Structures are given as C-alpha cells and as structure tokens.
Amino acid sequence: MLDPRAADELPGDSDPALRSEIAHTTAGAIVHRARASEDPAVVERLVRLVEAEGLDELAALWADSPAGTLPGALWRLYVLREWVRRDPETVAERYRSGAGTAQVPGVVAGVAMPPGPDDVRQVADAVLSGVFAGDLAVALERGAAFCRVLSTGAAFDADGVEDLDPDGARRLTRGASSLIRTAEELEAAADLWRRGRLD
C-alpha cells in the first residue's frame, strides 16, 4: 500500500480546463501566425511539425479536443498525415481502390490517378499547407474527401478478405467507419470555419 503522504505528493493529471485552454491557444497561434507570415519556410515548418516535435507532443495538446474545435480539426489532419507518412503504400492502394466509387469529386481530394506513395504524401502536405496558408475550410474539405476515398478502399479490402480473415475484415470495416466519422467531423469543422465559429 502507498503511504497517504506519498500518494498526496504524486503528480496528478492536469486540469482539463487548462489543457483545453492550452490546446486552443496553441492551435490558434499556429494557424494565425502562419496566415500572418509571408514566408513559405514558416508554412513548411508547420507542415513538418509532427516530424519535428512528434505526434506524442501534439497528442498531449490536441488529442482530447472535440472535433468541432480548431485543435480538434488540426489533430485529425495531423493524424491522417502521419498515417500517410508511415504507411504510404497502403494508403495509396486504398485510395486507388476507393477512388472510382467514393462519392467525392476527385478534384477536391486532389490525388493524381493512379496514385503512388509520393502522391498521397504530397496531398497530405498540401492539405496542411492549405490549413496554414490557404482557405482553411477548403483544406478541411480536402482532408474529408481524402478520408471518404480511403474509407471506400478499406471497405473493398474488407470484402476481399472476409472469407479468409474474418477478424481482419472486421478491423478493416471498423477502420472504414472511423474514416467516415473523421470525414464528417472535418466537413463540420469546415462549415464552422466559414461561419466564424471554429475556435
């Protein structure tokens, strides 16, 4: 058993209100500083933020933020980009599978056909560049379209392995569902940004 005095000295989890305030402040500062800067190097550094700081650092700041907030929207885009960065071959294959069927305009998703791993990396970077230097709502919608295409590709993959690997098919189906949810969240965030309500 832990001595009660020792237990009182253990650091506890940070205050949720303070964590939320830090998340909003950092996300706002990053987006607004990039928009105020004319220096493309600043935008490039922000796009590479995960590589420089690590996803764990961003997770500590933004991961618990609701989808309808600026830090929540940025978190979803950075996680998507990190997946593309870590597994571009799988992402490119899923995009190829889903591109002809997903209900999104190809120009919105913005990937060349047929996409290779470098193409999907470039789109993920372009989406984040758009967040910082372009129209944030368009960048969020591009991220959403990308998620919808990947979701369709994952669903096709699930169908293809259902007989041989039912557990794998269930995982792929859950992943496809999660991508649709992320797409919906990014679309809602784009709408909030246009109405001046994404904080």
Q: Is 121 contained in some domain?
A: yes
Q: Are 132 and 31 in contact (CB under 8 A)?
A: yes
How far apart are the C-alpha atoms of 41 and 7, rounded to whole Å? Answer: 47
Q: Is 142 contained in some domain?
A: yes
Domain count, the chain: 1
How far apart are the C-alpha atoms of 113 and 144, rounded to whole Å? Answer: 18
- The pLDDT tens digits for 68-106 are 999 999 999 888 888 988 898 999 899 889 988 887 765
Q: Is 139 contained in some domain?
A: yes
Phi, psi at 173, each rounded to 5°: -65, -40
Q: Angle, nearest 10°, between helix axes 117-133 and 88-99?
A: 90
- The pLDDT tens digits for 19-61 are 889 889 888 888 877 777 778 888 788 877 777 777 778 778 8
pTM, rounded to two decimals: 0.83
Per-residue pLDDT, 2: 38
Q: What would the two tokens of residue 16 be?
A: 């949720």
How far apart are the C-alpha atoms of 96 and 119, rounded to whole Å? Answer: 11
pLDDT-based confidence at 114, cuts 50/70/90?
Answer: low
Provide the domain limits for residue 129. Answer: 15-194
Q: Is 97 contained in some domain?
A: yes
Q: Are 75 and 65 in contact (CB under 8 A)?
A: yes
- The pLDDT tens digits for 117-164 are 777 777 778 777 777 778 888 888 888 888 999 999 999 999 999 999
Q: Is 10 contained in some domain?
A: no
Q: What would the two tokens of residue 129 be?
A: 């560049």
Q: Is 8 contained in some domain?
A: no
Q: Is 3 contained in some domain?
A: no
How far apart are the C-alpha atoms of 128 and 134, rounded to whole Å? Answer: 9
CA-closest candidate to residue 19, choices 49, 64, 74, 50: 64
Q: Are 141 and 90 in contact (CB under 8 A)?
A: no
How far apart are the C-alpha atoms of 102 and 98, rounded to whole Å? Answer: 6
